[in-house]
Structure formats: structure tokens, C-alpha cells
A and B are shown apart, each in its own frame.
Chain A
Amino acid sequence: MSRLAQLALLIAALAPGAQAHAAEAPAQPAAAPPAAHAPAPPPAQAVAQLGAADLAFIDRVTWGVNESTAAEYQMLGRDRWLERQLHPGAKDRLPAAAQAQIAAMPISTQPVTDIATALTTQQRTANQIQDPELRKAGQQVSGQAMNEIGRQAAARSLLRDLYSPDQLREKMTWFWFNHFNVHLYKSDIRTTIGDYEEHALRRNALGKFRDLLHATATHPAMLRYLDNAENAKGHINENYAREIMELHTMGVGSGYTQEDVQELARILTGVGVNFQPLEPTVVRMGFVAQPDHIRTGLFEFNPNRHDYSVKHFLGQTIEGRGFPEVEQALDILARQPATATFVSRKIATYFMSDTPPDALVARMAQAFRSTDGDIVSVLLVMFRSGEFANSLRANDKYKDPMQFVLSAVRLAYDGKVILNPQPILGWLNRLAEGLYNHPTPDGYPMTAAAWNGPGQMAVRFEIARQIGSNPAGMFKALPPDTTERPAFPQIASAFYFNAVQPTLGAATRAALDQAASPQEWNTLFLSSPEFMH
């Protein structure tokens, strides 16, 4: 029996009227951890009447099932809960402790333009210092300031992943970041990565695909990352042009040619960034404003760098007329049937299976085309499909490191808000799926074989031990107040006894019975095959 089918039975057993059955599970001597450290089986909980499929459903839509998420799901029922996930309000519904941390961050209170221009100016100033010793010191200060901005973005991202009740928006934000990947450590991307995630991706995470294309194509993080900021007439750089087609829209082998890449690169000439502070508006003598020039924050379209000749792109003629050429090209790309299929297949691979059924992908792609790339419509086709229900029963989707770590922390600490994200960021890096840390534009792979090699399993068990043994510094505030708040990973909770325990296979139960301490019990549970899926 699959883990989730077992989970369903257990939960069903907890329903009112099934109390007799429910009482059996914790009472089985073989199932209870040794008395030395066994938490007392709790009273029956409110989380009842959820089937295995419901719990599996929550696990897929969120960063991991836990008691509070299961409770909201149960209160609303699957349809209304999913509706809420697909249409979250604009405002975060975060716990106050998480909201307060985010509100206190400079990236929440200062415009990205100010932050990025200040930090890059500081960096340039440091680079120009003559004295080598002083220059080194200056560069160090400036580098640390940039790192801090990147760290804030990561902290904000994790707080939302762990505690936002609107889990699907956060999961889709990660998905789109991975799809339109940029790397934290290239150039000055640290200064804009939080804004990229927040405004280019998260804002459109459940919106229109075409808006994601526009938002990424005009964001300094992407323009820096794929070198389009350097792409100019007579100085062609085709890096971004190629990856838009290969990775962001149509997919490799879908029919575009090297000529299309070159033409798109010409269309994209002049699309770049400007990190100079905006000058006050002064009308200089003889100054003629260029009609096509665009400057929005750090984004700049510079007509002097643009190739205005006619282009032929994917069978269509694009007249040279400045930035509208880019919008036309993105329209063409967003409406390619290959794009609908490519994006739909990737979503299905992420949420349900390493090999999603072609028929389902075709229906999702059809929804994509008929709604002009409405992501919610595509997701709905998938979530409501029979194929998705089947995949819940099979329960063979192996967790990638992000899902593994976050689901472990969510289960172990539920609503207790972390103060320091560094341990989690470190675990993700050790598992080779660090946040913002994939250097190449393809993003992290989504299939099991990329994550379940022997060496990776061994590292995963090490991380399970670290998560299961103690808070590892997650509840130690950052300076100046470095008091560590008391916390202990509570996996063997009421929720565990009520919902999870009966889903475990005999081998896992037998191993858990031999745990010599609560820490070891946690380690073994988080290492179990049941928890990996």
C-alpha cells in the first residue's frame, strides 16, 4: 500500500465515529517509539476526514504537509482550498513574526533602483581607490553590502515558503525562478535578485505567461545574467536570444533555427540596463530627446545601440522600430504552440511525475493556447485531471532537495517562525539545489534521477540528522540580539500520530523502534523512504 493510501486510512480512522479504529494505531506496541523518549500519544485531533488523496494533494500543492495547512484544507474542503491557492489575495497572509522580519528588511522599504545604484556606485568607488590595501578593504565592504542584500532576498523567500498559507503562489514563484533562472553570484545580480523574484516573477506567478516574458526581458537581473546588457548593434551577443527560445519558451528542437537566434539577437540590441542614478531633468542646450529611448528604473532601451534594420523572425517580418520589436517578438514566442507544450510539460513534470502523460500535457497546452497563457487555467486542468489523481495514488514523485528540506522544516516546526535562514540555505547548497545558486540558465533538473544518486542519498541522510537533531541555529536571531530561542524539532507530534505514523511501512516502523533518542528517531524518520516521496 502506498504511503498516502495508508495515510488516508489513518486519517479516516480519526474521523468522528471511527474512534475505535483510531485508538488502535498509537496503541500498537510495535509502532510506538521506545518509552525512553516516546512522546505520549496525543488526544485525537481535529484533523479528521481527510483521505490519503487529500494529504497527497496538499503535499504536491505546498512545500510540504503539516498540521496547520491540513487544518485549513480541512476547514475549506479541497475545491475551496485549491481555489484560494490559485487566487491568493495580493497581501501576504503571513504570521506576524514572519511579517515583521520581512517588513524590517531594507529590501522591503527601499526601492531597488536606490539600492542597486548606491551599491554599484560604492563598488565603482572602491575599485578606483589607488592604494592597493585601501582598495581591497573598500571592495570587501562593498561586496559584503551586496551579499547582505542577496541574503535578505533569500530570507524573505524562505519565510514565505515556510509560513505563507498561500503556498501555491510561493511554489510557483520558485518554479518560475528556476524556469527563468539567474545566478546570485554573477556581476551585480545580488542587488536586484530580490526585486526580480518579487516583481518580475512572484507578482506574475499565477498570472499570464506573456507577462512573465515581458517582466524577465526588462529586468536588470536577467539582462545582466544572459549578457543582453552587452548586446548592441555591431557588437552582437546572442546568449539571451538563444536561451529565450531554448529554455524560456519553445524548447530545444522545436523548429527554430540558428538564423532565428541571430535575428532575435538583433531585435534585442539596445535592451539593457542603466545603473547610473537618474539625473535631474535639465534641458541642456541642443539636447534632442530620442523618441524611442526608454528608461524605467534600472531598465534602459537605448536606441543608439539598437539595430533598426528589418528582421525576419520565425517566419514573420519585423520592421525596425525600436522596443516595440521586442514586444512583437515576445508575442510571437508566447503564442507558438511549442511554447504552450514546453511550459505545460514542465509544470506537469514538476507537480506530478517524471514522465507526465502526453494526453494530459496536450490538454494543458490547449488551455494555455485558448487562454493566451493563463497559468491558473493550465494548473486547473492538471489538478483536476484523472491523471493527477492517479499520480497521487502512485505517490512516486521523489522530492527534490528544496521540497525535502522545506517539508522537513515545515513538519518539524510548523508555525514556529525561524529567525535565521542560514542553516536552511546551507542545507540546500550541500544538497546541490541552493537558492539562487544554479550557475547555468537551464535551472535545476526536476526528475528523480538527478537527485537520488548514491552520494546524494548519503548527503540527504546527513541533512536529515542535522534537521532532526536540534534547531541548528535557525532560532538564533541575527546580531545584535543573538539570543537563541528554545526550540526542538517536533515531528512525533499529534499530527504525526494521527496522520503519518500509520502510513509507514513495516521496515521503517521497525527501524524507528530502535531509535535510541528523540534526535535519532527524527533522523530516521526524515531519512525514511516514505518521507522522500
Chain B
Amino acid sequence: MHRRDVLKGLAAVPLMTIAGRVWAAPKADMRTLVVFLRGAYDAANVVIPVSSPFYYESRPTIAVPKPGSHPDAAVPLNPDWGLHPALKDSLLPLWEKKQLAFVPFAGTDDLTRSHFETQDTIELGQPVHGTRNYNSGFMARLATVLTRTKPIAYTEQLPLVFRGGHAIPNIGIGSVGRPGVDDRQAKLIESMYAKDALGGAVSEGFKVRDDVYKTVEMAAADRGAISAKGFELSARRIGRLMRDQYNLGFVDVGGWDTHVGQGGAQGYLAGRIGELGRALAGFAQEIGPEAWNDTVVVVISEFGRTFRENGNRGTDHGHGSVYWVLGGAVKGGRIAGDQVKVDHATLFQNRDYPVLTDYRALFGGLFQRAYGLDQKLMAQVFPGVTAKDLALV
């Protein structure tokens, strides 16, 4: 379907009310950032089933202590769930402001337990059984059905999720330097690609390079020396870029495949999760209060990990995960979606969290609310999927 035809079809779409505003749907005034934790983060040790004795039995060396039992204990979110203490300073305030929700038992119907296969599954957002089209990611399809989208991947490689459709820019956000190829040279290079299949990518590449460099330079000037580093620095830059220029973003962060010595309240995973928390809080700060109110950040991962710790104080590949949804207009401060008691009997294949909320149904529900997508457009983003409305925005 051509973009023009899509636009024509929009006339029939009714007006929707979101967060007290009347929006002509669908459009992309909402900002969406998807954060992909590649490597399968150990969800059960971050959003912790504190009311489950089975959790403490299953993780004799890596369980995070029960709320109140220890200075480094889990922070209670409600009677059943607690938060990893490494997120106390960064994300707990957002939870308390009801701007952060967690969706446990979320994931895919892909049972390969392969990182790469399942990451592809999620990014493509196509039915698991059947031929895959590797040139059609779900965020690329979303960008096509919406108007006024400015999509961008803050990644060194263009991820599958954004492949297909128009050339979508990508840029490694960790190290941004002054461009050495000057404007005249850039024009000469573009001229060489005028009739080449990569022409669009080349022009877009120079543009995004300049946009990002300007923003990063300005941010540096505003703040003096930014002390943040690593993913926190990246997330702060992304906040600036999404405040001013882009409204549909994707970023990934690795280092979650904790087969050995992952630690509990402290240790390796605590360090990673602490950095992630500071990054998301930094993002919210940089994007600013006004834009934050129109922003939804969704944190996902390809699957969860084995509920029981393995022989090396780590965890192996599992199934269900816990997704995070945060933003100024998010109806948070709650654990959303279908849930079961965390126990031996409810484990999937006697080893993992089950999946009760499909990632496509979750995103579908969010997109319907945020962008007012009708069934027809929804079916273009996620063919054959029934959206699940968790009323998150």
C-alpha cells in the first residue's frame, strides 16, 4: 500500500481522546522510545515476586533479600512485587508518581530460547510460524502507517525493527564527533549516489549526522561537563533528540546474558540495572517535563531467564519476561496485565515464567491508545494480532 493511500484512508478514522486532548488519529504527536535489553535480562531479579517463598527457594545464592530484611533488600511495590534496590533512586520516584508500570509474564510465542532468533522474532513482529520477511520490522511498519513520524534508531547498525519502508536513519549515539567530511564533500558524495539504490540512505545519513552533532554540542554547552557515561550518556542525548527532533526511537543495550555470577542485591546485574535506571531517569530529565508528558518508553527483552538459578550463580535462557512502560502520561504505579501466582506449579515447562501477555498485543494496545490506530492499520503493523488494551496511557 502506498503512503498516499494510507493517508486517504485516514479521513474515516474517528477522533480520539487521549490524556485529555483531542487528537486527529492517527498521528505521531506521541513520542515513543523502545529500549531493547539484548541478551535476556533476568526479570525475576529486577521486578521481584516478593510474596513467593518459591522465589527464595529457587535462588539460594542470588535472590534479592525480602523487603525490610536487609539494608539492600527489595523495595516493595505492592504486597506481591518488589523492585531491585539498584533502582531505588532512579526509577522508584517515577513509580511513586505513577509514571511507571511493569507488565510481568510478557514475551513471545517463540520457544527456541535462542537470543538471536527471538530478538529477530520481536523486531519483525510477524507470526512465528511462517516465512519471515527480514525487510519488514514492526516499527518500520508503524512509521509507515502514521503521519508526521520522525523515526530514528540510536544504534550503530540499522536494527531489523526499522527495516523496510523509507530509509530510516540510524546513528551510534555513544560517540559523536565533529564531522570531518565537510558540506562540499558531502554534496559531491551525494551526487555519486544520485541514481544509486543507497542514495536515500546517503542523504539521510548526512542529515542525521548533522542534526545529532548539533544537538549533542548544544547539550554539552548547556550543561557544562556531562558527568554521565556509558548508556546513561546515550540516554540523555536521546532525551534531547526526542525533545527537539525525533518522535519514534529505538535503542538497544547489551550485557544481560548472565549465565555466571550475576549477583543479587549487589554484583554484576545490579550494576547493569543501576545504569539502566539512571539512564531512563536521565532521559526523562533531558526530554523535559512538557515532552515527557507525551512520551512512552517501553523496555523489553527477548525472553526471561530460568526461574531457578543454575550451577554457577547465574541463570540460563528462559521464557516469560517483565516489560516496563514509563512516561509522563503513563497510568503507572501498578503491575499491569494478566498474572499468576509465582510458584512451582505455574512455571512454564517447569523452568520459566509463562507468557501471558504477548509483546505484539501489548504494543498493539499501546499504539491504539497513543495513536488511535484502527483495526485495519493495526493489522498492517501486527498482522493477525488482537491488541490487548492494558490502559497504560
Q: Is the CB of A453 within 8 A of B191?
A: no
Q: Is the CB of A227 within 8 A of B259?
A: yes
B320 within 8 A of A: no
* Contact residues of B between 195 and 225, Cβ < 8 Å to A: 195-196, 198, 200-209
Closest chain B residue, CB of each to CB of A509: B192
A449 within 8 A of B: yes
* Contact residues of A between 14 and 29, Cβ < 8 Å to B: none
B349 within 8 A of A: yes
Question: Roughly how many angstroms separate A395 CA and B158 CA in the complex, as a whole number?
Answer: 23
Given contacts A432-B157, A442-B116, contact A458 B312 (CB under 8 A): no
Query: Which listed residue, A231, A237, A450, A452, touches B198 by the CB 8 Å rule?
Result: A452
B6 within 8 A of A: no
A234 within 8 A of B: yes
Given contacts A449-B134, A456-B205, A461-B181, contact A242 B260 (CB under 8 A): no
Q: Which residues of B contact A452 (CB under 8 A)?
A: 158, 198, 201
Q: Is the CB of A455 within 8 A of B156?
A: yes
Q: Which residues of A contact B158 (CB under 8 A)?
A: 449-450, 452-456
Contact-residue size bin, chain B (C-beta under 8 Å from the other chain): 35 or more
Query: Which listed residue, B116, B188, B316, touches A511 by the CB 8 Å rule?
Result: B188
Q: Is the CB of A453 within 8 A of B112?
A: no
Q: Which residues of B contact A528 (CB under 8 A)?
A: 192
B168 within 8 A of A: yes
Q: Is the CB of B317 within 8 A of A235?
A: no
Question: Roughly how many angstroms separate A432 CA and B375 CA in the complex, as a whole number?
Answer: 39
Stretch of A54-62, A103-111, A121-129, A519-527 at the chain-chain interface: A519-527
Q: Which residues of B contact A515 (CB under 8 A)?
A: 188
Given contacts A232-B311, A237-B316, A511-B191, contact A440 B181 (CB under 8 A): no
Question: Roughly how many angstroms separate A461 CA and B349 CA in the complex, as a whole number?
Answer: 50
A353 to chain B, nearest CB (A): 14
Stretch of B11-19, B169-177, B329-337, B353-361 at the chain-chain interface: B169-177
Q: Is the CB of A524 within 8 A of B192?
A: yes
Query: Which listed residue, A232, A258, A453, A458, touches B349 by the CB 8 Å rule?
Result: A258
A327 within 8 A of B: no
Among B112, B116, B195, chain A packs the most CB atoms within 10 A around the CB of B116
Q: Which residues of B contact A36 (CB under 8 A)?
A: none
B135 within 8 A of A: yes
- Secondary structure class of chain A's binding surface, majority of residues: helix
Q: Is the CB of A457 within 8 A of B201?
A: yes
Q: Is the CB of B257 within 8 A of A524?
A: no
Q: Is the CB of A529 within 8 A of B192?
A: yes
Q: Which residues of B contact A237 (CB under 8 A)?
A: 259-260, 310-312, 314, 316
Query: Which listed residue, A252, A451, A462, touches B116 by the CB 8 Å rule?
Result: A252
A508 within 8 A of B: yes
Q: Is the CB of A532 within 8 A of B116?
A: no
B168 to chain A, nearest CB (A): 7
Given contacts A461-B189, A507-B191, A507-B195, contact A455 B311 (CB under 8 A): no
Q: Is the CB of A524 within 8 A of B169?
A: no
Q: Is the CB of A242 within 8 A of B172?
A: no
Question: Roughly how many angstroms separate A532 CA and B188 CA in the complex, as a whole number?
Answer: 16
Given contacts A235-B310, A527-B189, A529-B196, contact A252 B259 (CB under 8 A): no
A134 within 8 A of B: no
A188 within 8 A of B: no
A373 to chain B, nearest CB (A): 23
A459 within 8 A of B: yes
Q: Which residues of A contact B314 (CB under 8 A)?
A: 227, 237
Query: Which listed residue, B163, B181, B189, B204, touches A449 by the CB 8 Å rule?
Result: B163
Query: Which listed residue, B115, B169, B260, touches A230 by the CB 8 Å rule?
Result: B260
Q: Is the CB of B153 within 8 A of A507?
A: no
Q: Which residues of B contact A461 (CB under 8 A)?
A: 181, 185-186, 189, 205
* Contact residues of A between 200 and 237, Cβ < 8 Å to B: 227, 230-232, 234-237
A402 to chain B, nearest CB (A): 14
Q: Is the CB of A507 within 8 A of B194?
A: yes
Q: Is the CB of B196 within 8 A of A239?
A: no
Between A and B, how many residue pairs show CB distances below 8 Å? Answer: 163
- Secondary structure class of chain B's binding surface, majority of residues: loop
Question: Roughly how many angstroms separate A444 CA and B254 CA in the complex, as a whole number?
Answer: 15
B388 within 8 A of A: no
Q: Which residues of A contact B135 (CB under 8 A)?
A: 449
B332 to chain A, nearest CB (A): 32
Q: Is the CB of B113 within 8 A of A242?
A: yes
B264 within 8 A of A: no
Q: Is the CB of A454 within 8 A of B204?
A: yes
* Contact residues of A between 72 and 122, Cβ < 8 Å to B: none
Given contacts A236-B311, A246-B114, contact A524 B185 (CB under 8 A): yes
Q: Is the CB of B192 within 8 A of A465?
A: no
Q: Is the CB of A458 within 8 A of B316?
A: no
Given contacts A237-B316, A458-B206, contact A453 B189 (CB under 8 A): no
A510 within 8 A of B: yes
Q: Which residues of B contact A304 (CB under 8 A)?
A: none
Q: Is the CB of B180 within 8 A of A514?
A: no
B193 within 8 A of A: yes
Given contacts A237-B259, A252-B116, A432-B157, contact A529 B193 (CB under 8 A): yes
Q: Which residues of A contact B134 (CB under 8 A)?
A: 449
Q: Which residues of A contact B170 (CB under 8 A)?
A: 453-456
B179 within 8 A of A: yes
A227-B260, A258-B349 given; name 13 further pairs at CB < 8 Å.
Answer: A232-B311, A234-B311, A237-B312, A439-B254, A440-B116, A453-B169, A454-B200, A454-B205, A456-B157, A457-B198, A462-B180, A465-B180, A511-B188
Residues of A within 8 A of B (CB): 227, 230-232, 234-239, 242, 246-247, 252-253, 258, 261, 430, 432, 439-440, 442, 445, 449-459, 461-462, 465-466, 505, 507-508, 510-511, 514-515, 520, 523-524, 527-529, 532
In the A-B complex, the 9 residue pairs with the smallest Cβ-Cβ separation, listed nearest first, are A235-B311, A453-B158, A458-B205, A454-B205, A455-B171, A454-B204, A432-B156, A455-B170, A457-B205
Can you sample 26 A-B contacts with CB below 8 Å?
A227-B259, A235-B310, A236-B310, A236-B311, A238-B316, A242-B113, A258-B349, A432-B156, A432-B157, A439-B254, A450-B158, A452-B158, A452-B201, A454-B200, A454-B208, A458-B171, A458-B209, A465-B185, A466-B180, A507-B192, A507-B193, A523-B181, A524-B192, A527-B189, A529-B193, A529-B196
